[in-house]
Structure formats: structure tokens, C-alpha cells
Amino acid sequence: MRDNAAASIVDRLMSDGPVFHASGTRVWNALPDTLRLLAANVSAGDRTLETGAGASTVIFTAAGSEHTAVSPAADEHQRIRDYCQTIGLDTSQLSFIADTSDAALPALALDRPVDVAFIDGKHSFPHPVIDFHFIEQRLSLGGVLVLDDIPMPAVAVVYGFMHGSPDWELIEVADHRAAAFRKLAAADPDDNWHLQPFNRGYPDYSFAPLSQRIRLTTHHRVRQGARKLRAQLPSGVRRAAPRQ
Ligand SMILES: C[S@@+](CC[C@H](N)C(=O)[O-])C[C@H]1O[C@@H](n2cnc3c(N)ncnc32)[C@H](O)[C@@H]1O
């Protein structure tokens, strides 16, 4: 199967309605436009990786990528493999890791960087962040990362970081739920948190009661203002000026 063949598999999935999840009792598949978004971004021969498994795994398989899906339910893997074979897909490049992504991803050794990744495994905090951290390291420059379920706060925090970051370009949001980003630069290896647009809101005193929050924020702004003024003074005057 190649390219658009993967998109046509979405219609097949919709009409067949295979039940992969929760011991074969639940359908937790990504939505149709999300599956089409994956199909549009994967090409035969790509290296691909996902957390979670299901209809999305069928799409990667149909596209002919060398694909790895990480999820703890081995029975789910067998149902996905059986379904792929029933509809005539070649599963020789499909592999599963039957483990949780937080255990499997740190040690995952791939023969080459990942071209397309999909995060749709465990959705409780901090798992989407953990998945993002380990997958980002394996994604090639120019590679595509699709995040499902961005309205969930535990996923929205990853979306918020990526959307503000110059290292990522938002390609598309599908189904009001899944966001595809292209990687433009590798993560900064140093702890320059203050350069990240995500941290622009520092200091965030929202944990404090209102009166304390106002006092802390005002104090911070006054110090910032004084620092800026000092920086504008000629150096001799600056040395004599009192520090805030
Ligand atoms: C929403 S479903 C994934 C749906 C799939 N992307 C699709 O299109 O059908 C969530 C998946 O995460 C898996 N999962 C649950 N806990 C996990 C964990 N800790 N690490 C990785 N995957 C996990 C489940 O077994 C299930 O396959």
C-alpha cells in the first residue's frame, strides 16, 4: 500500500468498525480526519512511532512505513495485526512493544530518526509530557509530530509549549482535537527556560491568595522597572546608584 491508499483505509476502518481496545470491548480510535491527517503525512519507507495503538496503527501500516507502536496491551496488538491481515495489509514492517511508554521510550533504540510520530497513549498527567520528551529526541528535523486530544489539560500543556515554541511549526488541527507540528529545531540542551515563550508568564503567582499575589506581582514589576532603568544609566552613575 502507498500514500493515498492509506487515506482510503480510513473509509474502510469507518465501515468495518473494528474493536481493538479494552480486551476487544471498546473503540477508542482516533477520529477520521485525524487518521487522514496521519495518512497525509506518512510515506512508504518512513520511520514512524506512536504511543497507544489502534486505527492509527492500521494507517501507518497501510502507508508502508517502518512502524513501532508502544502500548501495554498485547491482546490489542494481536487484534490490530489480525485486522491488518484480514484487509490485506503487509505487516512485515509493523512492530509492537508491549509495555507502558514511560518504561519503553527511554531505552528505545531505533536504527534511524523518526519521520512521523503520534502521541495517543496514556492521557493522565504527566504521561503526554513524558511521551513528548522522549519522542521529540528521536524525531528528525523536518519530522512531524501529531498530538491527539489537545483539549485535555494534560495534553494541552504540551500543545501550549509547542505552539509557542520557535522550534515547532503548527501544520494543522484536525477534528478540533489533534494537532500536527513540524520540528524546525532540536530542543535547547541547556536550561535556558527564560528564553522559552512558554515561560513568558514568569513569575506566575496564581498559587497565592489574591492579596499576596498582587503584592508579589507589584514587587516583581517594580524590581524589573528599576533594573531596566539602571541598565540605561551611564556606567559610572550605574555603579553609584543603589540596587533594588
Ligand atoms: C485512545 S487509545 C489509542 C487509539 C489509537 N491511536 C487509535 O487511533 O485507535 C489509547 C491507547 O493507549 C494505550 N495505553 C494505555 N496506557 C498506556 C501507557 N502507559 N503507555 C502507552 N500506551 C498506553 C491503550 O492500550 C490504547 O492503545
**CA 170–ligand 1 middle distance (angstroms):** 23
Q: Closest by alpha carbon to 165, among 128, 199, 201, 131?
A: 199
Q: Is 34 in the pocket of ligand 1 (CB under 6 A)?
A: no
Over residues 126-153, mean pLDDT: 98
CATH number listed for the domain at residues 4-197? 3.40.50.150
**pLDDT value at 239 more than 50:** yes
What integer pLDDT is reported at residue 65 of this predicted model? Answer: 98
d(CA 144, CA 119): 11
For the chain, give every domain's residue range: 4-197, 203-240
pTM: 0.94
Q: How far is the CA of 68 from the centre of ligand 1 (A)?
A: 13
12-64 per-position pLDDT tens digit: 999 999 999 999 999 999 999 999 999 999 999 999 999 999 999 999 999 99
Q: Whose CA is nearest to atom 1 of ligand 1?
A: 28
Asked whether the predicted pLDDT for residue 99 surpasses 70, the reply is yes
The mean pLDDT of the chain is 95
Q: How close is the Cα of 69 to the center of ligand 1, in Å?
A: 9
DSSP-assigned letters across all residues of 60-107: HHHHT-EEEEEES-HHHHHHHHHHHHHTT---TTEEEEES-HHHHGGG
Q: Is 41 in the pocket of ligand 1 (CB under 6 A)?
A: no
